[in-house]
Structure 1
Amino acid sequence: MTISVALCTYNGEKFLRKQLDSILDQTVSVNEIVVCDDGSTDATLKILNEYEKSYPHIFKIHNNEKNLRSVKNFEKAISLCQNDIIFLSDQDDVWVKEKVEKYTFFFRENPKTNAICSNGFGIDQKDVILDVVTVWDIIAEQKKRNPKLSYFETINFAGNFVTGASMAIRKDFVSKCTPFPEIDGFHHDEWIALIAGYTDSLEFFPDKLFFYRQHDDQQVGGVFFENTENKKRRLSKFFTVDDHQNKSFRNYKHLLKRLSASYKKNKQLIETSVFYRDLLGKSLEKIEVLFYIYKNRMKKKYPVRFFFLNIIDKIKNKRQLGK
């Protein structure tokens, strides 16, 4: 089983060496590292060229003629990878030494798995591990309580928990998830996870197999939260949609807001992803059903507050399913 790494860079000089060193220091070696640089103006390319000279048989550096931005840059990097398993990599994280070994072993033993993601540590700019709870901790706990947890429905109806920094996919799965849709606020890792989740070929490891860096320059964050029991409970509710528990007025508001946002996102995806129209159409139908179930429950339990909220929402076009 051969291994590629698809790594995208843009002005990443500050942490790039640590990321590259952690990839090269794996207990199972990678066969190639494909890097697509998106027009860096700092020392990123200089650093990459140094590594390419030291490891000419591993590094393949591509300098984009124009700025592709994150989604399309990763699509390019992935398409250039030649090996059986493709690991996605950011430019500022650090991999645990056994990450590649554990992923490839699982792929080898589970041929129906097309994509793997994992839990991870949070670190700051000085590599200090943060005392935080992560979205991955919440998913790990939910999966422990409910082994039949649907990753597809969790991602599509509640929110994405998969980050590209933790993801690896099979080469023969690439054609099933590309081209990546271009929608504001929608990222390639969520799309890959949706498609793999729908085909029940996405696996989540509760083990912490990478160090995810929190800093001011990162493009996507929002994975670290205060490590308190109250926050854990709130996050658990956030990532739970199709249940029958009693909810507070605030819970209903947030849930309806998320479902309406998911409805809008799926409608946009239908317009850009012809191949998955049937899948996304079914998602729209379920979102609509859930939306009105919870809206009616909210109306029944909090009739007065619901009445005024409904008027305000119609005026502001919030918590609405656009037809």
Structure 2
Amino acid sequence: MMTTSVAMCTYNGESFLRKQIDSILNQTIPVNEIIICDDRSTDETHNILSDYQKNNPDIFKIHINEKNLKSVKNFEKAISLCSGDIIFLSDQDDIWEENKVEVFTNYFQNMPKINAICSDGIAIDNSGKVIDQRTIWSVPKLLKANDIDVDYFNIIAFIENIATGAGMAFRKSIVEKILPIPTKDGFHHDEWIALLTSYEKSFILIDEKLFRYRIHDNQQVGGVLYKNDDATAKRLVNHFNLFSDEKTFLQYKKFLKRLSQSYNKHKTLSVENDGKNIYISKEIMARCLQLFKHHQKIMRSKYPLKFFILGIADLFNNKRKIK
């Protein structure tokens, strides 16, 4: 039987922490260890964690950082301390469905070539009430329903990250490959893990809704919700279909901006990441340039006047530029 670890990061999480920990402890298959790295909390987080550790001394391992590491490096530390065969990432403010560990473990056991898995999830508000909106994690299912092949690497590298740490688990065997996690503004640990594993075709996003993602004022990462209607579904299909030529002018505009941002981000990573995994960043840069030119040409032919005006504006705003 596979052993399981939970890598949880906390920082001033007193409001929702107990509900998250309780949901982890009440799994149909118990986890073997919960590694918690606290990033210098100043509220009641330490006392809450101490209570759980006293009641579950064989499971809880709590580390208080000497200095504030911030999210990415705090998760890097927590991951490095995990000993289980499968490592689950956990935020401090969500809720796991009771069968999450069981479902993930079954997938890993039955799919030996898969190294990282994300699941679909449900959005909730401060009080825990379900928010009736479409989530970014439902995008692969939406693409498949429209007979569009799902290439996770293409989506994550060139369009938008659909892999959220709150719904992610991966094999310990890849830890050496994913650490250290590079630090760059707007670039998070979950995107890094998903990029590396999707590049090797060892990443999947499953349809089961296995966590409740809390939307609140103090969360660090958002932007996962969309209107739950047919018009939005159609827009998402065009947005996340890398080779769609049915994009609106606004979608082309956003897509070219995303490609330029991805190119410049990976240009930095290819230099600053100590030579590790830079081949992926260099390939992303090359493909970004090809895609940028391809879609820029289509955009120019479909919307010549708007394209001309946008080009002038971009000169002044320094947007949609590959440097």
Q: TM-score, normalised by structure 1?
A: 0.96
Describe the superposition over 1:202-229 as per-residue Cα deviations: whole angstroms up to 9, x where unpaired: 1111110000001111111111122222
- 1:179 is matched with which residue? 180
Tell me, yes or no, if the aligned pair for 2:153 and 2:198 is still in contact at 8 Å: yes
- 2:249 is matched with which residue? 249
- 1:319 is matched with which residue? 320
Q: Which moved more, 1:126-135 or 1:67-76?
A: 126-135
- 2:92 is matched with which residue? 91
1:126 aligns with 2:111: no
Describe the superposition over 1:20-56 as per-residue Cα deviations: whole angstroms up to 9, x where unpaired: 0000000001000000000000000100000000000
Q: In the TM superposition, what are the counterparts of 1:1-323 in structure 2 within 5 Å? A: 1-146=2-147, 148-243=149-244, 245-273=245-273, 274-322=275-323
1:61 is aligned with what amino acid? I
Tell me, yes or no, if the aligned pair for 2:108 and 2:114 is still in contact at 8 Å: yes
Distance 1:19 1:291 in 2: 42
Cα distance change on mapping 1:144 and 1:164 into 2, 3 Å:
same
Q: Which moved more, 1:99-108 or 1:266-275?
A: 266-275
Distance 1:68 1:119 in 2: 29
User: Helix, strand or coil: the match of 1:275?
Assistant: coil
Tell me, yes or no, if the aligned pair for 2:270 and 2:278 is still in contact at 8 Å: yes
Distance 1:141 1:251 in 2: 18
Distance 2:227 2:297 in 1: 33
Q: Which moved more, 1:203-212 or 1:143-152?
A: 143-152
Q: Which moved more, 1:222-231 or 1:171-180?
A: 222-231
Cα distance change on mapping 1:147 and 1:303 into 2, 3 Å:
closer
- How big is the shift at 1:145? 4.0
Distance 1:166 1:148 in 2: 22
Q: Which moved more, 1:141-150 or 1:14-23?
A: 141-150
- How big is the shift at 1:162? 0.7
Q: Which moved more, 1:285-294 or 1:306-315?
A: 306-315
- How big is the shift at 1:317? 1.1
- How big is the shift at 1:278? 1.9
User: Helix, strand or coil: the match of 1:111?
Assistant: coil
Distance 1:294 1:183 in 2: 27
Distance 1:309 1:87 in 2: 44
Distance 1:283 1:116 in 2: 22
| Aligned pairs, number | 321
Tell me, yes or no, if the aligned pair for 1:79 and 1:174 is still in contact at 8 Å: yes
- How big is the shift at 1:233? 2.0
Describe the superposition over 1:48-72 as per-residue Cα deviations: whole angstroms up to 9, x where unpaired: 0000000000000000010000000
Distance 2:268 2:239 in 1: 23
- How big is the shift at 1:276? 1.7
- Where does the alignment leave 5 or more consecutive residues of structure 1 unmatched? none
Distance 2:314 2:62 in 1: 50
- How big is the shift at 1:191? 0.2
2:258 is aligned with what amino acid? R
Distance 1:9 1:239 in 2: 32
Distance 1:29 1:76 in 2: 23
2:175 is aligned with what amino acid? V
Cα distance change on mapping 1:86 and 1:277 into 2, 3 Å:
same
User: Helix, strand or coil: the match of 2:98?
Assistant: coil
Distance 2:317 2:224 in 1: 29
Q: Which moved more, 1:187-196 or 1:136-145?
A: 136-145
- How big is the shift at 1:146? 4.7
Q: Identity of counterpart residues, as a percentage?
A: 51
Describe the superposition over 1:55-96 as per-residue Cα deviations: whole angstroms up to 9, x where unpaired: 000000000010000000000000000111110000010001
Describe the superposition over 1:134-181 as per-residue Cα deviations: whole angstroms up to 9, x where unpaired: 111222211444574110110010000111000001111111111000
Distance 2:282 2:238 in 1: 26
- Where does the alignment leave 5 or more consecutive residues of structure 2 unmatched? none
- How big is the shift at 1:259? 1.1
Distance 2:24 2:185 in 1: 31
Distance 2:145 2:246 in 1: 22
- How big is the shift at 1:242? 2.3
1:252 is aligned with what amino acid? Y
Cα distance change on mapping 1:152 and 1:146 into 2, 3 Å:
farther
